A and B are shown apart, each in its own frame.
Chain A
Amino acid sequence: QKEVEQNSGPLSVPEGAIASLNCTYSDRGSQSFFWYRQYSGKSPELIMSIYSNGDKEDGRFTAQLNKASQYVSLLIRDSQPSDSATYLCAVFTGGFKTIFGAGTRLFVKA
């Protein structure tokens, strides 16, 4: 079982729709959870971090964490073509190691 699992996609949504990205992790001791966005040919950039159960909103982005279910999600409201990228779920598992999922490719159609 992979430590951090994501649906590789591609996920295609029309402009203005909500994009929902999901991630599960295996280490129950994981402490911190992150979403990174990576455009083609670029390095990953942090878009959201979440540390406790519940929702965290930042602009059009909402991260959701459920530690009991070992589940993290990212919602992107009012999706724009500029949101087309690969979204990486990352989990700090302790031991000073952050593990990344394989990423979900998102396409937003104009």
Chain B
Amino acid sequence: KAGVTQTPRYLIKTRGQQVTLSCSPISGHRSVSWYQQTPGQGLQFLFEYFSETQRNKGNFPGRFSGRQFSNSRSEMNVSTLELGDSALYLCASSFSQGSVTGELFFGEGSRLTVL
């Protein structure tokens, strides 16, 4: 069974640009969560999607957005990049049932560097 696939793995952008990251979940998983990981803040929750609906959003500015497609693949977008957006962005999929999101399975992440 294929794992969670994230693309691109590495990218370098400059301040003010925008970036789109992609995530393909494990087959059969309909829940996709996104996290930002930095050395100082650890893993910070960005948002969670299930069946194309955002069910929760973390405490990030509106520059961070996401969406989920009918095949459960998800994308996140960061507009007007700032130096502080440099981080590892992790996608995790889960076999969510009802009101419970279970175990998370992470992709290898997309490492974003903003210059």
Contacts and interface: CB of A to CB of B under 8 A. Distances in A.
Contacts of A63: none
B25 to A, nearest CB: 14
B115 interface: no
A90 B99 contact: no
B1 to A, nearest CB: 15
**B interface majority secondary structure:** strand
B43 A44 contact: yes
Nearest to B109: A43
B99 A94 contact: yes
Interface residues of B, number: 24
The bracket for how many chain A residues form the interface is 20 to 34
A12 B58 CA distance: 33
Interface of B: 31, 33, 35, 42-43, 45, 48, 50, 55-56, 58, 90, 96, 99-109
Interface of A: 31-32, 34, 36, 42-46, 49, 88, 90, 92, 94-103
